[in-house]
Structure 1
Amino acid sequence: MIKLLRWWSLVMVVGLAACVTINIYFPAAAAEKAADRIIEDVWEQDATTPAAPPPPAEQESAAPPPPSAWSRLLDFLLTPAAAAEPNLDISSPAIERLTASMERRHHQLRPYFQSGAIGLTHDGLVAIREAQGIPLKDRTRVNQLIAAENNDRNALYREIARANGHPEWEAQLRGTFARRWIQKAPPGWWYQNAQGQWVQKR
């Protein structure tokens, strides 16, 4: 009976390690760094750097309890998985070409971001928020710019996933970029929240 319990305990620990490995397989931190680099290149002076979170309050200098045998075993099993988290390659010619195209276009889109006529969507794209804010004579051109921008953004998310050998990461990369576009947008720009409602950034 004791041997059976030990065997089931080992199975549970290995299963937990496998679950954690799956959860960290997509390199979320590396994806945020890659997104920030590309956004800063595309937006240049428009990209803002969010303020660093305040340092955690100092804890009382009580000695931590010694790790249990289970925690030492979990550390042994999970550390290699965490250490294996890859970096993202964003240096392929296709990615550089898409980034350069978006950077050139941004100079034409910037006035409409600033006026609130267009904004950032919750799925990492750009959309018209208030058509009345665009002069009638310019609407066709702005629609063409937005279509080209969204084509490049869709291709960028797909290409980063492909260039890193994981096309299944495309949706996660899109979500990461969607958050970072909004977080790095200047105050006054408009974006969609998770419910699709337009909100002005403060």
Structure 2
Amino acid sequence: MKRFFPLLLLAFLSLPLSAAPPSDEINLDIGTPPVIIVKHSLAQRSSRLVYFYDPGIIGLGYDGMIKMRDDSRLNLPQRQIAGKLIDQENPDRNSLIYAIAEGHGGQQFEPAVRAAQIKRWKAQFHSGWWIEDAQGNWSQKP
């Protein structure tokens, strides 16, 4: 083991250092096939999500994921539908972030891509829809 340590250290130190770019340098519209496929899946579901966004039943979580906000006005079948949509939406949102990061060169870009995508999702949210802040408090977008 002692004999291999200097070689291992030398190999590690010779690796190129690549830092993720700032989130404002990330191209969220990159057109790789995985990104296109996931965006299509998200677009197919968006009209059904609006049904739950408008009355404030679901909202955009601080982490960029869709969360149940207030399901008290839903009957059991409606609650199940909303839950299923959330369960389909959030993995696709993560897949989109990972696919964009890969399109930029690898998973080291994931934090910058995630920050940029959350910023975009917040900007695209309609007035009156609910957004969660860092403390877990919900407020309507003006």
Give the TM-score taking structure 1 as reference length. Answer: 0.57
Please list the CA deviations of residues 5-44 of structure 1 after superposition, one character each: whole Å capped at 9, or x if unmatched.
xxxxxxxxxxxxxxxx96xx5143232x62xx5xxxxxxx
**Which residue of 68, 93, 104 corresponds with 1:153?**
93
Relative to structure 1, the CA distance from residue 171 to residue 27 in structure 2 (aligned partners, 3 Å threshold; closer, same or farther) is closer
Partner of 1:29: 24
Partner of 1:116: 56
Aligned length: 125
Letter in 1 for 2:118: A
CA contact 2:57–2:69 (8 Å) conserved in 1: yes
Letter in 1 for 2:134: A
- Secondary structure of the 1:91 match is coil
- Secondary structure of the 1:127 match is strand
Tell whether 2:92 aligns with 1:97: no
CA distance in structure 2 between the aligned counterparts of 1:129 and 1:174, rounded to whole angstroms: 22
Structure of greater Rg:
1
* C-alpha displacement of 1:158: 0.8
Larger helix fraction of residues: 1
Q: After superposition, where does 1:145-184 map in structure 2 within 5 Å?
A: 145-184=85-124
CA distance in structure 1 between the aligned counterparts of 2:95 and 2:31, rounded to whole angstroms: 15
- Secondary structure of the 1:191 match is strand
CA distance in structure 1 between the aligned counterparts of 2:128 and 2:32, rounded to whole angstroms: 34
CA distance in structure 2 between the aligned counterparts of 1:197 and 1:131, rounded to whole angstroms: 16
Letter in 2 for 1:106: S
Letter in 2 for 1:30: E
Tell whether 2:66 aligns with 1:135: no
CA distance in structure 1 between the aligned counterparts of 2:113 and 2:74, rounded to whole angstroms: 31
Give the TM-score taking structure 2 as reference length. Answer: 0.80
- Runs of 5+ in structure 1 lacking a partner? 1-20, 38-89
Compute the RMSD of aligned alpha carbons: 1.8
CA distance in structure 2 between the aligned counterparts of 1:176 and 1:163, rounded to whole angstroms: 14
* C-alpha displacement of 1:134: 2.9
CA contact 2:22–2:112 (8 Å) conserved in 1: no
- Once the two structures are overlaid, the 10-residue window that deviates more, 145-154 or 162-171, is 162-171
* C-alpha displacement of 1:138: 1.5
- Runs of 5+ in structure 2 lacking a partner? 1-17
Partner of 1:186: 126
Q: Which structure has more RCO (C-alpha within 8 Å, separation ≥ 6)?
A: 2
- Secondary structure of the 1:186 match is coil
- Secondary structure of the 2:111 match is helix
